[in-house]
Amino acid sequence: MNYQIEGDFIESKSGHIFEIKGFHQPQDRTIAFIRYAPISKPSSLEINMRNKINNSNCSLEYYKKIYPLNEKFQYIKEKHPEYLFSHPNYYFQLQAVLNSEIKEHFLPNKFLQFLNNSKEILPSGSILKDALDLCHYLSENSGVPYEYIGITGSLLVGLQNEESDIDLIVYGYENSIKIRKVIKENFQNQNQDEKHPLCAYSMENYRDLYKSRAKGSSISFQKFLQYEVRKLHQGKFRTRDFFIRFLEHSNRDNYKKENQFENRKIKNFGRIGISGEIVNDEFWWTTPSRVQIADVTIQNSNKLIHDIHDLLKQYSLKITDIYQIISLRGRFTENVRLLERFHVFGSLELVIQNKKEPFLQLSLGTSSKDYFYLQ
């Protein structure tokens, strides 16, 4: 089996469909969160590439989509606790599928290659045809080969409908730079014509995004808009929403070599608010998104654990030694830039890895109260 990374999907032998999260995997199982739960699945119903093209099988009438994180955990705890996973190296609970229980592994780039090689004619105007056309457009205008682009999300597992978004993966930092250049040129010259079919969101689109993404947070629409208009990983292709995750490595073996799941520990020190300056934003548009920071000032430390100072002394660290801010959530990606000053509120973590010095990071995305504002 290929090494499993963010953007892949798996189907368990029980018929549940999971989306793989992160790039560090245990030896015996795969970290993956439930996305689709079977409701009533005929014995003849099989997930296969041909049916995905025809859109004739995996109808949502057979599956329940589970998207909010709290609902994912509620479903697994109540229905399938065997998919809950805790590890002594990590303070947070995960969901995972034993490798021996994986029925099928779906790879976004392999799916795109299949569509390219298929003799089936996709209906004009269909979501799958638009997704394939978008991949062709990005590849042809950037020079990035198809093998480094993939189709993920509902389309990958054949559970799309005509209202679905187009979710793509781009493998490799240099490949991503080339594709982002194409998107930027389109946004700067957008006419929704054949020459520039990619468009940034309209004000109405941003208002819809605000309602869905900012739910439960304190961010105003004006601040939300200030960050969203900077982003190149989302927009419209023809009339459809697209969302792209850019991965650092072009080869899965590189992620496998870097796998630190068993040899890494992450400790939680509570919640903290800080201000500072961005000193490196090289990977703030990749997945995971991360920026290095400096000139850290503590704004709110009331929710840190009480003995944090003593604990940090063991590692020759102090609270203001926070090295980076990190997130797997698209709502924070691309919202800050080099040398800009910021306010941020999130979870303070200590990361301990073999052969590396321990460091502090601030993690965003696990709470609706997290924020990352320009100062």
Which pLDDT tens digits describe the chain residue by residue (375 residues)?
Answer: 799 999 999 999 999 999 999 999 999 999 999 999 998 754 444 445 445 554 444 566 789 999 889 999 999 999 999 999 999 999 999 999 999 999 999 999 999 999 999 878 888 999 999 999 999 999 999 999 999 999 999 999 999 988 899 999 999 999 999 999 999 999 998 765 667 789 999 999 999 999 988 776 778 899 899 999 999 999 999 999 999 999 999 999 999 999 999 999 999 999 999 999 999 999 999 999 999 999 999 999 999 999 999 999 999 999 999 999 999 888 889 989 999 999 999 999 999 998 789 999 999 988 888 999 998
25 CB-side CA count, 13 A? 24
Task: In whole angstroms, give the CA distance from residue 200 to residue 187.
Answer: 6
The backbone region for 316, taken as left when phi is positive above 0, alpha when psi lies in -120 to 50, beta otherwise, is: left
User: Can you give the pLDDT at residue 127?
Assistant: 93
> Which residues share a beta bridge with 339?
none
Domain assignments of the chain as residue spans, ordered by start: 9-105, 108-252, 263-374
Q: Mean pLDDT for the chain?
A: 91
Element (H, E) at 76: helix 69-79
Strand ordering across the sheet containing 198-199: 149-152, 166-171, 240-247, 234-237, 198-199
Q: Are 240 and 130 in contact (CB under 8 A)?
A: yes
CATH of domain 263-374: 2.40.50
